[in-house]
Amino acid sequence: MSEQLWATPEQVLAIALQAITHEFQALLDESLAAQREPPPIDTHVAANLVLSMLTTVYRWHEPGGPVTPEQLTEQIALLLKGLLP
């Protein structure tokens, strides 16, 4: 019997990332519920899209490049404006 009694580092990471996504989805649910006329957004999809977007900025953003950190911040805020009042 070779039953595994502990989680691998990869499993721990997957569980942590899933928890973060669920917490962010709950935040989006709460935010949309507080809006008078919330947009018809699937918060599961939105949470995954936003977190994926934010965790991969390093792949394309070049510090000192044509998009300053301030411009990047403004663009992210504009994209999120409909989700978080």
Q: Does residue 82 have a pLDDT over 70? A: no
Which long-range CB contacts under 8 A does 20-26 form with residues at least 24 apart?
Answer: 20/51, 21/47, 21/48, 21/51, 22/47, 24/50, 24/51
pLDDT tens digits, residue range 49-72? 999 999 999 999 999 999 999 999
3-class DSSP assignment, residue 22: helix
Predicted TM-score of the model (pTM):
0.76
